[in-house]
Amino acid sequence: MVGKIKWMGRWVIGAAAMLGLTLALASCASPADVSPQSAREKLTSTIEESAAILGELDWAEVAPADGGHCGDQPGERVDYNYWYNAPPQPQRDHEADARKMADHWTALGMDVRIVESPSHVVYATGGPVAGLSFSTAPGNYYIAGTSLCVPGDADEIRKQDNG
């Protein structure tokens, strides 16, 4: 009887682990299922929402999200880069701002790393985008990121974007 209970306990634990893994994988869209427009929107909205957690700092986009080639074959996959900038913030607590950003990105399911010297920079990968960085380094605050690499032709998208 003890052997049966141990076996059933292992089976229940294993089944629960598999169910959790299945649910986690099912809740994540594959980059193959994401359109170029959705990848761009997710990148820009994630960066803009991230900037908002630091309060009103007069953030502005450096340039519209720019599509480029990614993957092995040009013309088959595209990703976007996007920069958001704020004027110099000499009076702010740069360490506290870096920690807020790191906590926010961790909550989004990203893997986060903080560099503290010579200035505070936060790097994050995974989650809703391929990667993000937040810097307090000399002068301006900035947030930069790259979207997921999704099916699409970067050259065609640039032509459409530029009229």
Tell me the mean pLDDT in the region 51-68.
92
Q: Are residues 15 and 43 in the same domain?
A: no
Give Cα 55 distance to the centre of its chain.
20
Q: Are residues 119 and 60 in the same domain?
A: yes
At residue 60 the predicted structure's pLDDT band, cuts being 50, 70 and 90, is very high
Domain ranges, residue 56: 34-161
CATH number of the domain that residue 50 is part of: 3.30.2030.30
CA distance 158 to 162: 6
Strand 60-69 and strand 77-88: the pairing is antiparallel
CA distance 114 to 134: 9
The per-residue pLDDT for range 26-38, each reduced to its tens digit, is 334 455 678 999 9
pLDDT value at residue 145: 97
Q: Are residues 17 and 41 in the same domain?
A: no
Q: Give the single-character DSSP code of 22.
A: H
Q: What proportions of the chain, in percent to the nearest 5, are helix, strand and coil?
A: 40, 30, 30
Per-residue pLDDT for 85 more than 50?
A: yes
Distance of CA 4 to CAs 12, 13, 15, 76, Å? 12, 14, 16, 53
pLDDT value at residue 30: 55
pLDDT value at residue 32: 64
Q: Are residues 19 and 86 in the same domain?
A: no
pTM equals: 0.77
Q: Are residues 80 and 1 in the same domain?
A: no
The total number of structural domains in the chain stands at: 2
Contacts of 119 (CB under 8 A, 6+ apart): 94, 135, 136, 137, 138
Average pLDDT over the chain reads 81
Q: Are residues 19 and 69 in the same domain?
A: no
Tokens of residue 37, six digits: 């427009």
Q: Are residues 18 and 50 in the same domain?
A: no
Return the bridge partners of 4, or none.
Answer: none
Q: Are residues 24 and 89 in the same domain?
A: no
Q: Are residues 77 and 138 in the same domain?
A: yes
Percent share of the chain, pLDDT over 90: 58
